[in-house]
């Protein structure tokens, strides 16, 4: 029979308080040694450790996982032992992808719906995925530019960049930055006194809508 939750954790037999969720846990709910290199007993329960591993991997820290108690780096086998199956599958794919990226002859498919990759050492910059048949340009690391050679793609890209740079220069030359909000302020006519509209007329969530609410029909009296 379980003990009453009103009994303090230190008075319950064979219970340990998790340092994360602050709940009294049975020995079977504690993970044991988190890593063979740890020199301490764990203070976090299995569920909290699983959640911590999942959160760390989702936030991009999959290659910097450490014991939450002593900061000992966790290795592949440690993550496999303590993470959920779904979290470990995600972690394992990230480890594999990082290892394959170190090989200059291995290329990943650039299709957003395909995560496959393969060895490719041909001189041609057009790379076709054997899994989904999508074509990619290895020269520019983009999906293949059909109807254009790499030289023509370079020329078109250069034209786009020059047009964007010219537009940015025109904006800089015809505007000034507001000293407070840093927005670009344009002067069209009139004197040199300029008032930044976002500061003068800030939107107010308490203002009523400009459109009046629809008029509700009046109920007709029964005759």
3 Cβ contact partners less than 8 Å away, ≥ 6 residues apart: 12, 15
For the chain, the domains span: 1-102, 105-145, 147-183
The token pair at 10 is 């230190």
> In tens digits, what is the pLDDT along the chain, a chain of 223 residues?
444 455 555 545 688 999 999 999 999 999 988 999 999 989 999 999 999 999 999 999 999 999 999 989 999 999 999 999 999 999 999 999 899 888 888 888 888 888 788 888 777 788 888 889 989 888 888 888 888 888 888 888 787 776 777 677 767 767 777 777 777 776 666 677 767 765 444 444 433 333 444 555 555 555 5
Instruction: Give the C-alpha separation, 152 to 161, whole Å.
Output: 14
The token pair at 62 is 């999959």
Residue 111 pLDDT: 87
Residue 202 pLDDT: 46
Residue 127 pLDDT: 85
Q: Look-up: residue for tokens 């029964």?
A: 222
Taking the domain 1-102, which CATH number applies? 3.30.40.10
Instruction: Give the C-alpha separation, 147 to 84, whole Å.
Output: 47
CB atoms within 10 A of CB 205: 4
Residue 7 pLDDT: 52
Helix (H) or strand (E) holding 176: strand 175-177
87 Cβ contact partners less than 8 Å away, ≥ 6 residues apart: 50, 53, 54, 57
Q: Look-up: residue for tokens 């670009």?
A: 184
Instruction: Give the C-alpha separation, 35 to 185, whole Å.
Output: 58
Residue 209 pLDDT: 37
- In this prediction the pTM is 0.55
Residue 149 pLDDT: 85
């Amino acid at each position: 029979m379980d003990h009453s939750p009103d009994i303090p954790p230190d008075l319950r037999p064979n219970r340990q308080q998790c340092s994360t969720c602050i709940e009294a846990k049975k020995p079977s709910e504690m993970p044991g040694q988190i890593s063979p290199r740890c020199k301490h007993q764990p203070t976090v329960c299995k569920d909290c450790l699983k959640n911590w591993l999942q959160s760390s991997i989702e936030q991009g820290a999959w290659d910097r996982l450490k014991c939450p108690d002593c900061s000992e780096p966790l290795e592949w086998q440690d993550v496999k032992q303590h993470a959920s199956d779904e979290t470990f599958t995600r972690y394992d794919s990230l480890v594999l992808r990082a290892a394959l990226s170190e090989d200059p002859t291995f290329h990943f498919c650039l299709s957003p719906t395909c995560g496959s990759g393969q060895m490719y050492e041909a001189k041609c910059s057009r790379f076709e995925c054997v899994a989904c048949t999508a074509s990619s340009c290895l020269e520019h690391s983009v999906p293949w530019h059909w109807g254009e050679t790499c030289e023509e793609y370079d020329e078109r890209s250069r034209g786009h960049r020059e047009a964007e740079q010219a537009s940015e220069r025109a904006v800089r030359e015809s505007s000034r930055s507001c000293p407070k909000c840093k927005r670009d302020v344009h002067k069209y006519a009139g004197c040199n006194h300029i008032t930044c509209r976002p500061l003068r007329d800030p939107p107010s969530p308490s203002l009523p809508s400009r459109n009046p609410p629809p008029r509700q029909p009046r109920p007709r009296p029964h005759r």
